[in-house]
């Protein structure tokens, strides 16, 4: 047996096996997309979250290696490769910038930072959308406490709600950056330990006054009634669950799950129950991490960019079926 692993046959087998995924990636990259795509150049391979800034007609991008950028859209040139412009240079070491949300009434973007691989630091910060000055920075975990801040939602008065992917809890931070308290529930943790390797993740604020948050690996969706003592309910999904990363509210009754594949969920009873009404695969080899809505169309962002020296990232329009 040992001689086989040192043989020419084994080497050729490895070459053959590696050629299959490489061929798939090449085919996917050079095939024509079935839906509209915004492509943009970047200086780094990894991008975590993208949100559409409608007022300023640009995408805001979080850098996995820390910081923020903007991608202005040229509406008269829909197929040109756009350029990413860095606007926030992180001073938080090797911590990643992850989920973000635009807080329009206060003209700012709220973004979370985390030590993704070491789980030794989590924070949330707000930046002015015009000057890009930092308004506040609030540390959420560290000094021996394990946690990974992953995504954030903001309510109408400016409170921020940050998911902890490792600790399966939600941190609540006030409009001025003051830490308020932590929302916990036994429902947040999956029964199987391995599902909790990637726990609470995408989160959105619903205009009816509650939060919707997904547990990634179990696919469980929760409704958190922040006006009712932070009551946590498991949204019943009779048609089954979907692995979800980022969330985006398409309408009061429709919710986008960013994943591989991505999905569209619908609820007709104020999110007491929900069902899957559509799926979209897209360019899954780039790993979908977030969704955003531009001009009533859903666009999916991906973790990986490809190319050298400039790395090309894509935002793919999702058409669910």
pLDDT at 12: 46
Report pLDDT digits (tens) over 82-95.
Answer: 999 999 999 999 99
**Alpha-carbon distance 244 to 247, whole Å?**
7
Q: How far apart are CA 248 and CA 64, in angstroms?
A: 20
pTM, two decimals, is 0.90
| Token pair belonging to 80 | 């040109």
Q: What angle do CA 308, 313, 319 make, to 5 degrees?
A: 150
pLDDT of residue 34: 80
Low-confidence ranges of the chain (pLDDT < 50): 1-2, 4-5, 10, 12-16, 18-20, 22-24, 26-27
Q: How far apart are CA 151 and CA 100, in angstroms?
A: 6
For residue 155, give every residue at least 6 positions away whose Cβ sits within 8 Å of its Cβ, in sequence order, or none.
161, 205, 226
pLDDT digits (tens, 9 = 90+) for 188-212: 999 999 999 999 999 999 999 999 9
DSSP 192: S
Number of H helices and E strands in the chain, helices first, is 2, 25
pLDDT of amino acid 89: 94
249 by Cβ neighbours in 10 Å (0-12 / 13-18 / 19+) ranks as middle
């Amino acid at each position: 047996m040992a001689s086989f692993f040192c043989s020419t046959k084994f080497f050729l087998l490895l070459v053959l096996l590696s050629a299959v995924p490489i061929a798939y990636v090449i085919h996917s990259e050079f095939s024509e997309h079935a839906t509209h795509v915004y492509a943009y150049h970047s200086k780094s391979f990894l991008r975590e979250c993208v949100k559409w800034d409608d007022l300023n007609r640009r995408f805001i991008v979080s850098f996995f290696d820390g910081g923020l950028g903007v991608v202005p859209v040229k509406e008269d040139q829909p197929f040109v490769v756009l350029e990413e412009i860095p606007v926030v240079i992180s001073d938080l070491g090797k911590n990643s910038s992850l989920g973000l949300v635009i807080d329009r009434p206060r003209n700012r973007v709220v973004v979370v930072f985390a030590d993704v691989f070491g789980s030794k630091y989590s924070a949330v910060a707000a930046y002015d959308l015009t000057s890009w000055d930092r308004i506040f920075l609030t540390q959420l975990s560290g000094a021996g406490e394990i946690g990974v801040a992953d995504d954030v939602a903001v309510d109408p008065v400016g409170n921020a709600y940050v998911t902890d992917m490792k600790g399966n809890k939600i941190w609540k931070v006030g409009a001025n950056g003051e830490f308020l308290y932590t929302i916990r529930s036994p429902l947040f943790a999956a029964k199987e330990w391995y599902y909790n390797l990637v726990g609470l993740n995408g989160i959105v604020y619903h205009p009816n006054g509650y939060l919707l948050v997904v547990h990634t690996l179990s696919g469980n969706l929760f409704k958190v009634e922040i006006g009712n003592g932070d009551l946590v309910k498991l949204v019943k999904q009779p048609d089954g669950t979907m692995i979800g990363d980022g969330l985006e509210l398409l309408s009061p009754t429709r919710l986008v799950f960013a994943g591989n594949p991505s999905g569209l969920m619908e609820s007709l009873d104020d999110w007491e129950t929900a069902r899957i009404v559509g799926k979209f695969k897209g360019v899954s080899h780039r790993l979908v991490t977030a969704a955003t809505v531009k001009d009533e169309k859903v666009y999916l962002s991906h973790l990986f960019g490809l190319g050298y020296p400039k790395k090309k990232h894509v935002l793919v329009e999702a058409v669910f079926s």
